[in-house]
Amino acid sequence: PREREDMEFQAETRQLLDIVTHSLYTDREVFLRELVSNASDALEKLRHSRAAGSGCHDDDDDYDGSNVGDGGSPLEIRIETDEASNTLTITDTGIGMTRTEMISNLGTIARSGSKAFVESMRVRGEAQRSGTDASGDVDPFGRGIIGKFGVGFYSGFMVADKVDVRSRSAIKRRKDDGNDDDDDRGAVLWESTGTGRYSLSTLDRNVRQDRGTSVVLHLKPDMAQYSDERTVEAILKKYSNFVGFPIYLNGNRVNTIEAIWLQDPKTVEESKHSDFYKYVSHMYDEPLSTLHFRMDAPLDIKALLYIPSFHQEKYGMGRMDPGVSLYSRKVLVEPKSPDILPEWCRFIKGVVDSEDLPLSISREKSQDSALVGKMRKALTRKIISHLSTMMRKDIEKYRDEFYKEYSFFLKEGVCQDFDSQQSLSKLLLFETSKGMAGELVSLDEYVSRCPPESKDIYYLCAPSRELALLSPYMEGFSKSKREVIFVYSAIDDFVMANLKTFEGRELVSADRSEVDLHPANDVDGDANKGKKDEKDDDTSSRKSLSTAEATEFCAWFQTTLSSKVSQCKTTKRLSSSPAVITDNESGALRRMMRMVETQEG
Ligand code: ADP
Ligand code: MG
């Protein structure tokens, strides 16, 4: 066997090592995610190499190259905790590393052997086209491979003061003279304390070492929790539950749930959705609606989103947390991400997976937030279009199941998510003066029924439909046969005031002074704010005041109520009510103020 060899990390590697161990990751526990991802990558590479028939020797396996994954040691990840020696060991039966590969992949930080591998697969894939595809589940471009940044391995040093890597490569290499390259045979041990140096020793060839890699973390004294089985199990479940190879912790299988979001949406059965939904949402109902899609542009996204049949905010349980977690190639990047969807989407549960996301880089970095911003835009658009399709194709379901439960969230979106405001407003439904009680129409429907001369959208806020219909504000609209949207809550009122316009039409509150219903007639002109409690005792024998009388009456009114009104004037808008209060400010604002006052009082 070869002598033990001491090597030094390159200068940049030493510096980067310092960054990785001290500040790159905000959560220490992600070291396990990184090492498991590397193990998964190594297994994936083995699968690729076998499928491509690239000289796997696998002596012990009797492997004939035609049948991926059978014979010899199965493709799996084994994790062992040992509290007594305070170690954690991650073993895979993957492709392994030769001595040379250990030097270049582990001795050089920010050099990703995985990235190089994917690139070589791509080149080969291009050359062979259908070749590697033929094996079925092996993606010719190595998309199952997680690593590409070349820093993950070093995160082990966040928790360990010494790391040992034992590896035996599955690839047979020949020297130029045609003989096996002895350097690259047998198992190699790499050891480092992460402080600038590492050593390599070739293990005795007679010592049997299975194909693959074993990483032993000698945990720092204050990191002993990572040799505790329960802690390790929780971390594995959190980050690595969907890794595509079986993970065993001290002999027990940990990951049992399939990453169905990566499957072709058309092939996923209902029952799988039902199970997966329960897993991601921690709920026991069935999803009201499922949105499963993939896109390549503007960036790679695979998303599986569910709308639960109900939400929890109505039971006074407070604001829900976001419900969508961010993955990259099946590995958790951020649980319940607050950035991946706008806030109003917090009722949605599910996962978003993007190959374009770096696993390790912190969220604060601007390049990432730009990326996440792009994803948020694309996802929001998809969600809104999913809802409008539901509205178009199955209005009963949309109205009676979705809208009934979630209208509040859409309204919140209209008020807060400026980018989506207009498209969200198309999803709103309202009662109107024309329909029956309980009959709901969209703004588009309202507009389609407007007479051509009508340029605005009218709405009236009232405590109930009965009161809305009896309201003096309705008189002018009824007379001119204009449809008015009824809103019954301060929230709706606020939504209308926030929305301001819909498809170029102004949203006009019926109590606004300058409502123009009779372009030919003279109507209330200037803004006036009147308050009137005058009772007209003789409505039956109504006759108009002369202009002089009216002027005098208005003047009297204004002096009498000087502190309460800004102006008093005559109107032709009314037909049976004697007087009406109109407003020159936002009615919604005024009503909000009143609401605040009553709450305070
Ligand atoms: P990345 O995974 O982003 O490439 P890492 O720092 O996690 O970067 O790993 C560096 C390289 O070391 C990998 O690209 C791979 O070539 C090699 N490597 C790490 N762990 C293993 C393993 N378990 N089996 C085989 N190769 C490994
Ligand atoms: Mg990695």
| pLDDT tens column, 423-474 | 999 999 999 999 898 999 999 999 999 988 888 999 999 888 998 998 888 8
* Residue 92 pLDDT > 80: yes
The pLDDT of residue 131 is 37
| Confidence grade of residue 172 (pLDDT, cut at 50, 70, 90) | low
Q: Is 38 annotated as a binding residue?
A: yes
Cβ(138)–Cβ(180) below 8 Å: no
Q: Is 113 annotated as a binding residue?
A: yes
- Please give the distance, rounded to the nearest whole angstrom, from the Cα atom of residue 42 to the centre of ligand 2: 10
Q: Is the ipTM of this complex over 0.90?
A: yes
DSSP 227-239: G-HHHHHHHHHHH
Q: Is 86 annotated as a binding residue?
A: no
Whose CA is closest to 34, among 84, 90, 83? Answer: 90
Query: Rounded to an integer, what is the distance from CA 10 to the centroid of its chain?
Result: 39
Q: Assign 503 to helix, strand or coil.
A: coil
Q: Is 295 annotated as a binding residue?
A: no
245-270 average pLDDT score? 94
The pLDDT of residue 148 is 60
* Residue 526 pLDDT > 50: no
17-37 average pLDDT score? 82
In order of 279, 312, 349, 409, the CA distances from 309 in angstroms are 15, 10, 11, 14
Residues having C-beta closer than 5 Å to ion ligand 2: 38, 147, 152
- Please give the distance, rounded to the nearest whole angstrom, from the Cα atom of residue 301 to the centre of ligand 1: 24
Record the tokens describing residue 26, joined without a space. 């905000």
Long-range contacts (CB closer than 8 Å, 24 or more residues apart) made by 312-319: 313/408, 319/346
* Residue 536 pLDDT > 70: no
Closest CA to ligand 1's atom 14 = 113
Q: For residue 90, which atom of ligand 1 is closest to its CA?
A: 23
Whose CA is closest to 432, among 404, 458, 471? Answer: 458
Record the tokens describing residue 449, joined without a space. 């029924």
* Residue 66 pLDDT > 50: no
* Residue 121 pLDDT > 70: no
The pLDDT of residue 550 is 81
Alpha-carbon distance 321 to 342, whole Å?
A: 12
- For 560-575, the pLDDT digits (tens) are 887 777 778 777 767 7
* Residue 534 pLDDT > 70: no
Percent pLDDT > 90 in the chain is 44
Q: For residue 114, which atom of ligand 1 is closest to its CA?
A: 14
- Please give the distance, rounded to the nearest whole angstrom, from the Cα atom of residue 153 to the centre of ligand 1: 6
Whole-number average pLDDT of the chain: 81
Q: Is 97 annotated as a binding residue?
A: yes
Mutate to test the pocket of ligand 1, among 105, 211, 215, 217 (most ligand atoms within 8 A of CB): 105
- Please give the distance, rounded to the nearest whole angstrom, from the Cα atom of residue 96 to the centre of ligand 1: 10
252-253 and 289-295 as β-strands: parallel, antiparallel, unpaired? unpaired
Mutate to test the pocket of ligand 1, among 38, 43, 119 (most ligand atoms within 8 A of CB): 38
- Please give the distance, rounded to the nearest whole angstrom, from the Cα atom of residue 186 to the centre of ligand 1: 19
Cβ(318)–Cβ(343) below 8 Å: no
Q: Is 112 annotated as a binding residue?
A: yes
